[in-house]
A and B are shown apart, each in its own frame.
Chain A
């Protein structure tokens, strides 16, 4: 099997293990991974990501339900968002592998291939993936 194909299947498997499929979900996760604890609102995050508020809000809901992020209570329209590194060893290793993979352009392109754009317009470049 060619190395590219192996990585391709690896990415698909890791995404399935973690349980998300939308590009906006990855973007939000990558944003919080890079920024650490963030005191912000979904609208501000959407502004920084170049996405729309509804998509980011939905991504936050989904990531929280998957146990990948934590949200504090709301105050003045903002929350504290933190990455929640999976406690399960398999999910943890998937999480770390994907984050490392996204450090390289080839890895980001693979992620882009496997993630659905959802509401995101094709013309909008996902910042989390840094396609440009």
Chain B
């Protein structure tokens, strides 16, 4: 759409969802209940219009005190009095009755003022109050919703005549009359935003949905609306597949070492492809976080790839300390800017904002290796499986689009053996590789076991291999390292992963060559 035919809201993140902006003549309606951010939405529309696009504007309020409006705007960093002094903004306090007669009047004072300051935008807060003006006390069709709709039509007509792009806010109450009037406004408006405020697990989530917008395409669905002190509103696109124009997916045939451990790379059939996604699943304590640290260090130190560690479980300081005890200096790489860390508490996680933060970090620092330490924490925080799946799908698509190699650590809840890779929220089908880290009970000791169960495009090995976490980190034990001592190596057993390892006869230690997997 041509630049001059659209009006940009200037609200961070929103215009991208509107694919640039709203057709200039559209009447915009913001509907929502109490506390959804309607007034702030309208005020920012006017404020950004003036400050970003030099389009003067008018704010009309019926119930809100202009002084409070100015105060609340100041908390967002918007200096409305300064704009009023520059004659780019006019805040008008009036009543629904007056606005009703004003916009029908040929010599309207409101519209005269609009001309006076060259207004191109107008925000009328609480348009639903116009139903008071339509309540004439006469029987239908002279009063009630029918006449309210006529009143709105007259209002829209008047605004359109003066080439004002209008944003109207309309509260949605639970009583029937409010619902009927909101419906009328929704039918008449060209662009309708629906703001919601939802209580979920004692947390508040604000969202905005573009219900309709005549004359344009837009990103449908419920997106996060965040109110940020000192900054204003920001809309975060709901986590989903990338924007339509980003559908092409590059691929790479370059393989990279996993953690610089050759034996582990061999299990994967020769390392992992650039741009691949790997699920590292295992019980708590098997060394997933240590492995994640090594993955990032390998990328940073030997491959020159910047890394990002996303932790929802452990604080970065603790991860760095623990890595340090194994001789893995993570802090040095963090300080040098080769490894970045994003830590967020799962209790306050808003997945749309979190996803946007990841995208921004990856793009800003040109991240090429990413480790997400704590997929289980996402599943606990998100509750809804569809949202969780959307997030993982989006992350995988984004990783692949950038040829970024990504590792997901997942804590499998099963102690010995397992019945599913991800029993609570199964998304293992969308990753390219799966490395299973298990604990195996052998006699009276627990031993660690690594198995590559999936490696797309690779002739990987299906051997279960014992590994240790020691100074220097993850080390895969050679097949025969412990052959002459007890306990015996895994190759001396069958059913390692089935909770019931069975010791083979002496011949069972051989015949390794038959265990390679097919290209999957």
Residues on A facing B (Cβ under 8 Å): 34-41, 44, 72-73, 75-76, 78-80
Contact = CB atoms under 8 A, between A and B. Distances in A.
Contacts of A72: 109, 112
B98 A44 contact: yes
A38 B94 CA distance: 6
B6 to A, nearest CB: 30
Interface of B: 65-67, 84, 90-95, 97-99, 101-102, 105, 107-110, 112-113
B113 A80 contact: yes
Given A72-B112, A78-B98, 10 more contacts: A34-B66, A35-B65, A36-B66, A38-B93, A39-B94, A39-B98, A39-B102, A75-B107, A75-B108, A80-B113
A38 B109 contact: no
A40 to B, nearest CB: 6
A75 B93 contact: no
A40 B66 CA distance: 14
A25 B193 CA distance: 43
A78 B108 CA distance: 10
Nearest to A41: B98
Contacts of A40: 93-95, 98
A35 B95 CA distance: 12
Contact of A39 (B67, B84, B107, B109): B109
B109 A80 contact: yes
B66 A39 contact: no
B108 A38 contact: no
Contacts of B66: 34-36
Contacts of B110: 39
Contacts of A76: 98, 101-102, 105
Nearest to B101: A76
B89 to A, nearest CB: 10
Nearest to B60: A39
A72 B65 CA distance: 21
B173 to A, nearest CB: 23
B92 A38 contact: yes
A75 B66 CA distance: 23
A75 B104 CA distance: 11
Per CB-CB distance, the 5 closest pairs between chain A and chain B, nearest first, are: A39-B94, A35-B93, A36-B66, A38-B93, A76-B101
B92 A75 contact: no
Nearest to A36: B66
13 contacts: A35-B67, A35-B93, A37-B90, A38-B94, A39-B94, A39-B99, A39-B109, A41-B98, A72-B112, A75-B105, A78-B101, A78-B109, A80-B113
Nearest to A31: B93
B92 A39 contact: yes
Most chain A C-beta atoms within 10 Å of own C-beta, residue among B98, B107, B110, B113? B98
Contacts of A75: 102, 105, 107-109
Contact of A36 (B91, B97, B102): B91
A38 B84 CA distance: 14
Given A72-B109, A79-B109, A34 B67 contact: yes
B95 A44 contact: yes
Nearest to A74: B109
A75 B99 CA distance: 12
A35 B59 CA distance: 12
A14 B419 CA distance: 84
A36 B93 CA distance: 7
A39 B93 contact: yes
Nearest to B70: A36
Contacts of B108: 75
A36 B66 CA distance: 7
A92 to B, nearest CB: 15
B80 to A, nearest CB: 10
A75 B67 CA distance: 26
A35 B105 CA distance: 24
B196 to A, nearest CB: 31
Nearest to A38: B93
Most chain A C-beta atoms within 10 Å of own C-beta, residue among B93, B95, B99? B93
A78 B93 contact: no
Contact of A37 (B92, B95, B102): B92
Contacts of B91: 36-37
Contacts of A38: 92-94
Contacts of B93: 35-40
A79 to B, nearest CB: 7
B516 to A, nearest CB: 79
Contacts of A35: 65-67, 93
Contacts of B109: 39, 72-73, 75, 78-80
Contacts of B101: 76, 78
A130 to B, nearest CB: 13
Nearest to A72: B109
Contacts of B92: 36-39, 80
Contacts of B97: 44
Nearest to A79: B109
Contacts of A78: 94, 98, 101-102, 109
Nearest to B105: A76
B139 to A, nearest CB: 26
